[in-house]
Amino acid sequence: MDQQLQLDQQRLVSAWEEHLPSFMKDGGSFTVQADEGDPKSLLIHFNAAGRQHYSLDFRCTYVDSREVAVSLIDVEQAGQHTDERTDAVQQLAQRYTRQIHECAQALKKLTHS
């Protein structure tokens, strides 16, 4: 049985901002913020490096102290909504999802009491 998950969202946001860059090898940038509507979720926005000018928004929800559910919320290219089914977007989404999971694993000491 997993213990009740206790999250301090602001502390978690700070930890994500500190640790996520170590998982990003492509030179892109990101922002992390608390999801005001869900105390167990963070909103993560990635600006992909390169000439394509993609940005992807994800919701990272703590299922329990060790596991996160990651969902792609929105994709834009040069500020315009774009089709998330293209190969380029799918590859970016998979890479960022993996980085989110890796960062969540690295931070489990914060979420596992």
Q: What CATH code is carried by the domain that includes residue 81?
A: 3.30.310
Question: pLDDT tens-digit profile of 5-51?
Answer: 667 899 999 999 999 999 987 788 999 999 999 999 999 999 998 88
Domain presence at residue 51: yes
Domain count, the chain: 1
Domain presence at residue 1: no
Domain that holds residue 73: 9-108
Question: pLDDT tens-digit profile of 53-87?
Answer: 999 999 999 998 778 999 999 999 999 999 999 99
The strands making up 41-47's β-sheet, listed across from edge to edge, are: 29-34, 41-47, 54-62, 68-77, 80-81
Domain presence at residue 65: yes
Amino acid (one-letter) located at 8:
D
Predicted TM-score (pTM) of this structure: 0.91
| Spatial separation of the C-alpha atoms in residues 47 and 30, rounded to whole Å | 6
